[in-house]
């Protein structure tokens, strides 16, 4: 019995230390991310160069509506990212943040970013989500999602996929939340990519946060739904931009009889009538509601 008590106490202590480290990391992530937002908003490029890690990655999937390097995929390298930001020609920008959360090494902010370009007086408010990965006091990755087409008045030719995206994404999300794996599979591309970067807080291996392939995703969802019930998403804000649908709100679910309600952002990418990519970002640090 003595050794059993010692083992239990050791387990409790180890768990406490782990949770403390996670909380410390989250706090550091919040601080770095908020500082980054300030210098980014002020267009202080020299400071941006220093806060990015040398091998930082910038990716904006919703920028596929534009022509140029950003449409080709992620930009790698601090110098390359800052050069890209300078090329946007911004005279000023202001980010009105409506909601933020941080989990482990990831911070997410959503709201409206208002920009003005050099040589112009007009300002453009853009619904916007930005996600920051932080390590050792620096930004290692930034991922953006913005509703650029309507906000910038680009015209229907830039948004020709929006109608299909909205229909397919809403049907897919409905199936996803209802645990209708058959319908979700029907709407998914063979090589669909599912990512929940915030779930890294539960796993030491980053590979657990990315699933590639419809069969693998359905297998994973089946395992999850065996434990999770009453899955839902109360959407407070959403927008559709070309190939992407963004849903911002609160995800709700029940696990082992306990109810949870956590801030969340779900993003669904649709191409050729099928869902090709799905991101979930959830504030798993928020405790149960009961």
**Residues 39-55: pLDDT tens digits?**
999 999 999 999 999 99
Q: What pLDDT, in 10s, does the model give residues 217-267?
A: 999 999 988 899 999 999 999 999 889 999 999 999 999 899 999 999 999
Determine the Cα–Cα distance for residues 269 and 259; give it in Å rounded to an integer: 29
Share of the chain above pLDDT 70, in %: 88
Inform me whether the pLDDT recorded for 270 exceeds 70.
yes
Q: Is the dihedral of CA 264, 265, 269, 270 positive or negative?
A: positive
Which stretches of 147-290 are DSSP H helices?
148-151, 162-177, 181-187, 214-225
220 Cβ contact partners less than 8 Å away, ≥ 6 residues apart: 194, 211
3-state secondary structure of 135: strand
Sign of the torsion formed by the C-alpha atoms of 219, 225, 228 and 234:
positive
At residue 202, the pLDDT reads 76
- Evaluate if residue 129 carries a pLDDT over 50: yes
Strands 188-195 and 210-212, by their bridges, are antiparallel
Q: Which pLDDT score, from 0 to 100, does residue 110 have?
A: 98
Closest-CA residue to 168 (of 244, 60, 266): 244
Over residues 209-220, mean pLDDT: 93
The set of residues, in sequence order, having a beta carbon less than 8 Å from that of 257 and lying 6+ positions away, is: none
By the 8 A CB rule, do 163 and 65 touch?
Answer: no
Complete domains list, the chain, with CATH: 2-153 (3.10.450.50), 161-282 (3.10.450.50)
Under the banding of pLDDT at 50, 70 and 90, the label for residue 124 is very high
Question: pLDDT band at residue 159, thresholds of 50, 70 and 90?
Answer: confident
pLDDT for 199 equals 87
- 107's CB contacts (< 8 A; 6+ apart) are 29, 30, 32, 33, 34, 100, 101, 131, 132, 134
CB 22 within 8 A of CB 105: no
């Amino acid at each position: 019995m003595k050794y059993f008590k010692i083992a239990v106490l050791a387990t409790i202590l180890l768990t406490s230390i782990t949770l403390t480290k996670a909380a410390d990391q989250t706090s550091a992530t919040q601080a770095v991310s908020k500082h980054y937002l300030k210098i980014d908003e002020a267009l202080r490029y020299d400071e941006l160069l220093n806060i990015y890690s040398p091998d930082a990655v910038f990716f904006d999937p919703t920028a596929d509506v534009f022509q140029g390097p950003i449409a080709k995929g992620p930009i790698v390298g601090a110098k390359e990212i800052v050069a890209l930001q300078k090329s946007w020609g911004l005279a000023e920008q202001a980010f009105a943040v409506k909601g933020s959360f941080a989990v482990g090494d990831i911070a997410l902010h959503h709201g409206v970013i208002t920009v003005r370009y050099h040589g112009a007086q007009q300002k453009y408010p853009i619904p916007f989500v930005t996600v920051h990965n932080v390590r050792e006091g620096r930004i290692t990755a930034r991922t953006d999602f913005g509703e650029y087409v309507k906000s910038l008045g680009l015209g229907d030719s830039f948004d020709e996929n929006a109608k299909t995206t909205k229909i397919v994404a809403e049907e897919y999300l409905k199936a996803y939340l209802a645990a209708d794996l058959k319908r979700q599979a029907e709407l998914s591309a063979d090589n669909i990519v599912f990512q929940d970067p915030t779930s890294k807080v539960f796993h030491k291996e980053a590979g657990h946060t990315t699933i590639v392939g419809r069969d693998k995703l359905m297998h994973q969802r089946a395992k999850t739904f065996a434990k999770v019930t009453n899955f839902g998403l109360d959407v407070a804000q959403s927008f559709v931009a070309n190939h992407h649908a963004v849903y911002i709100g609160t995800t709700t679910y029940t696990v082992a009889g306990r109810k949870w309600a956590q801030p969340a952002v779900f993003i669904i990418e649709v191409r050729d009538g099928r869902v090709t990519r799905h991101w979930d970002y959830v504030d798993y640090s928020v405790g149960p509601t009961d």
